[in-house]
């Protein structure tokens, strides 16, 4: 309730109450506030519910077995009985205690103070501003950049932004600066899992804000004063449970003279909640509670097409993430630029979609997300129902996606990862034993294949993380394949088409 009261009581409407005069379709004139409003509301866990029909939103979700005729019949029966789809209304919100919030605030203040001092020193020694290198791979980097630019501008700190699509692109960019030039870098959502000393120029200091795990121990070591990672002890205690000691203590004890990426990572998986679809029994007490909850939501929300005075529409935070992520991966297939420059272009398109004056661009992203989800449903249904489509090895399953109808929509890492999770959810519902899943899809580049590996959602205290990273690189090197394994997720790799079969055989021996 604290978050709800804070947001809804913050008065984030135009305080003057004076805004532009808007004429509705029926000729009625109303005065609308000029500012936007952020409101706290409970939302059903259905993807882009306001952007397409309720039926389609449930049809393309993983809550129901809609890949089979029987599942589709049950969905229609459910709609007939209830008048609206059953959504997972038990959305859980986790709030931090005030003590943890205070500790986190202290860590953030300390991190920003060091960043501010380093940026000021760099600007004093040379005419170099703070260099911000955000990842072009996800919406997290985009939103973090949006916040940071406001904070830095308020503190009169000069900065330049260079979106990067891979560590190789970042290394190429940094190589263009003089080795003796003092640089202050801010890396957003990449860099934590690799030894940054091999990438940074000698006189550079890097500040890292990255949600990816594991973190390379050299980056956390107190002896490494060239890299500062935003790392909160309270935030990482869950990951430390299986080790019974602090990650930072292990980092300080690590050997900074060691080289290489493989042996200096802490093997801890990202912890994620395993959220299953809710029970669809509408005749029981649970079903009646959900029905009342959905009825209340529908009554409060009203007609989804209605006009909300002063705003073009309501957009949930989750829908913004879907739309922005789709924009990040909507690369122009006809672009003749390099992959990095094309990704940088799309990064700025997605960044502009976060502006209140560019809602139409966000709408395009949402429509693209809908098309991707439809493609996931089509290909997922085909994979589940066709015998032999999903192949099973001893320790993992793998599927090759070569249908030209949808490969253009699923040939990006984030989209292909979502497709893998859709298949894993479907297999779990069918009673299959859970194994890691590898999916290969024709990439945008000619004669190239994108391979993505997912291990499922790890449980609390899991000792092993995603083991595909080192296995992918090792298998590709042993077969002598031309590969690209420099993206910010180690479980993504790009191979030649002709090397896929031998790559999978060698991978079977390693996992």
Q: What would the pLDDT profile of 298-356 be if each residue is shown by its tens digit?
A: 444 443 333 343 444 567 777 888 888 888 887 644 444 444 457 788 888 888 888 87
Given a contact cutoff of 8 angstroms between Cβ atoms, the answer to whether 29 and 19 are in contact is no
Q: Helix (H, G, I), strand (E, B), or coil: what is residue 433?
A: coil
Question: Pick the residue with more confidence: 27 or 355?
Answer: 355
Looking at residue 15, what is its pLDDT? 43
Strand order across the beta sheet in which 390-392 lies: 390-392, 397-401, 437-442, 448-454, 492-496, 483-484
Question: Pick the residue with more confidence: 96 or 360?
Answer: 360
Model confidence at 475: pLDDT above 70: yes
Least confident residue range of 311-325, 427-441, 449-463, 470-484: 449-463
Model confidence at 87: pLDDT above 50: no
**Which of the four pLDDT bands, split at 50, 70 and 90, describes residue 152?**
confident
d(CA 320, CA 308): 18
Instruction: Answer whether the bond into residue 214 is a cis peptide, omega within 30°.
Output: yes
- In the 8-state DSSP scheme, what is residue 497? G
| Residues 256-271: tens digit of each pLDDT | 555 554 433 332 223 3
- Which of 460, 455, 493 minimizes the C-alpha distance to 474? 493
Q: 126: which residues sit within 8 A by CB, 6+ positions away?
A: 181, 182
Copy the structure tokens of residue 443: 């990439």
**Which of the four pLDDT bands, split at 50, 70 and 90, describes residue 77?**
low
**Which of the four pLDDT bands, split at 50, 70 and 90, describes residue 48?**
low
Model confidence at 440: pLDDT above 80: yes
Model confidence at 221: pLDDT above 70: yes
Q: What is the mean pLDDT of the chain?
A: 67
**Which of the four pLDDT bands, split at 50, 70 and 90, describes residue 70?**
low
Class of domain 374-510: alpha beta
d(CA 378, CA 415): 14
Q: Helix (H, G, I), strand (E, B), or coil: what is residue 167?
A: helix
Looking at residue 124, what is its pLDDT? 62
Where are the chain's structural domains? 2-31, 98-253, 374-510
Q: Helix (H, G, I), strand (E, B), or coil: what is residue 206?
A: strand
**Which of the four pLDDT bands, split at 50, 70 and 90, describes residue 194?**
confident
| Residues 230-247: tens digit of each pLDDT | 765 554 544 443 344 455
Looking at residue 94, what is its pLDDT? 35
Q: 128: which residues sit within 8 A by CB, 6+ positions away?
A: 122, 177, 181, 182, 183, 184
| Residues 131-146: tens digit of each pLDDT | 888 888 878 888 888 8
- Which of 314, 304, 430 minimizes the C-alpha distance to 362? 314
| Residues 360-416: tens digit of each pLDDT | 888 888 888 888 888 888 888 888 888 778 888 777 888 888 777 788 888 888 888
CATH code of 98-253, in short, is 3.40.50
- Which of 377, 328, 366 minimizes the C-alpha distance to 348? 328
- Which of 439, 327, 419, 432 minimizes the C-alpha distance to 378? 419
Looking at residue 85, what is its pLDDT? 36
Least confident residue range of 152-161, 228-237, 241-250: 241-250
- Which of 489, 488, 493, 484 minimizes the C-alpha distance to 166? 488
Looking at residue 240, what is its pLDDT? 41
User: What is the enclosing helix (H) or strand (E) of 317?
Assistant: helix 317-328
**Cα 275 from chain centre:** 17
**Which of the four pLDDT bands, split at 50, 70 and 90, describes residue 290?**
low
d(CA 287, CA 86): 9
Given a contact cutoff of 8 angstroms between Cβ atoms, the answer to whether 376 and 422 are in contact is yes
**Distance between first and last Cα of the chain:** 46
**Cα 132 from chain centre:** 19
Looking at residue 78, what is its pLDDT? 55
Given a contact cutoff of 8 angstroms between Cβ atoms, the answer to whether 466 and 491 are in contact is yes
**Which of the four pLDDT bands, split at 50, 70 and 90, describes residue 81?**
very low
Model confidence at 178: pLDDT above 70: yes
d(CA 506, CA 511): 9
């Amino acid at each position: 309730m604290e978050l709800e009261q804070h947001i809804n009581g913050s008065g984030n409407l135009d305080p003057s109450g004076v805004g532009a005069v808007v004429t509705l379709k029926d000729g009625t004139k109303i005065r609308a506030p000029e500012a936007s409003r952020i409101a706290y509301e409970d939302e059903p866990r259905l993807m882009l519910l306001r952007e397409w029909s309720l039926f389609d939103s449930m049809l393309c979700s993983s809550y129901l077995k809609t890949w089979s005729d029987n599942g589709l019949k049950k969905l229609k029966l459910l709609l007939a009985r209830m008048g609206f789809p059953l959504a997972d209304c038990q959305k859980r919100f986790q709030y931090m205690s005030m003590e943890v919030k205070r500790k986190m605030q202290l860590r953030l203040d300390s991190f920003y103070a060091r960043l501010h001092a380093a940026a000021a020193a760099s600007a004093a020694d040379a005419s170099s501003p703070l260099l911000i290198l955000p990842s072009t791979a996800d919406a997290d980097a985009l939103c973090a950049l949006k916040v940071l630019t406001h904070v830095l501008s308020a503190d009169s700190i000069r900065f330049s932004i260079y979106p990067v699509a891979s560590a190789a692109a970042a290394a190429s960019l940094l190589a263009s600066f003089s080795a003796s030039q003092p640089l202050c870098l801010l890396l957003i959502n990449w860099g934590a899992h690799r030894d940054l000393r091999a990438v940074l120029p000698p006189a550079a200091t890097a500040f890292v804000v990255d949600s990816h795990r594991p973190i390379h121990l050299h980056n956390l070591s107190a002896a490494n004063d060239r890299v500062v990672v935003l790392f909160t002890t309270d935030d990482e205690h869950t990951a430390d449970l299986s080790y019974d000691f602090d990650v930072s203590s292990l980092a300080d004890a690590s050997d900074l003279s060691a080289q290489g990426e493989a042996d200096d990572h802490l093997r801890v998986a990202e912890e994620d909640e395993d959220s299953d679809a809710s029970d669809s029994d509408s005749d029981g007490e649970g079903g009646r509670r959900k029905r009342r909850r959905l009825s209340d939501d529908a009554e409060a929300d009203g007609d989804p097409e209605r006009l909300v005075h002063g705003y073009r529409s309501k957009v949930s935070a989750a829908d913004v993430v879907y739309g922005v992520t789709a924009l990040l991966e909507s690369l122009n297939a006809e672009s003749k630029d390099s992959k990095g420059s094309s990704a940088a272009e799309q990064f700025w398109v997605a960044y502009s979609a976060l502006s209140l004056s560019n809602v139409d661009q966000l709408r395009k992203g949402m429509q693209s997300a809908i098309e991707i989800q439809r493609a996931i449903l089509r290909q997922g249904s085909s994979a589940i129902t066709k015998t032999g489509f999903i192949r099973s090895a001893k320790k993992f399953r793998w599927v090759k996606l070569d249908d030209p109808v949808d490969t253009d929509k699923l040939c990006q890492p984030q989209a292909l990862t979502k497709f893998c999770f859709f298949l894993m959810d479907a297999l779990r519902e069918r009673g299959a034993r859970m194994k890691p899943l590898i999916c290969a899809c024709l990439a945008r580049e000619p004669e190239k294949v994108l391979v993505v590996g997912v291990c499922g959602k790890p449980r609390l205290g899991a000792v092993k993380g995603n083991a595909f990273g080192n296995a992918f690189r090792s298998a590709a090197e042993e077969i002598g394949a031309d590969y690209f394994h420099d993206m910010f997720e180690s479980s993504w790799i790009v191979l030649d088409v002709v090397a896929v079969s031998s790559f999978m055989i060698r991978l079977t021996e390693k996992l």
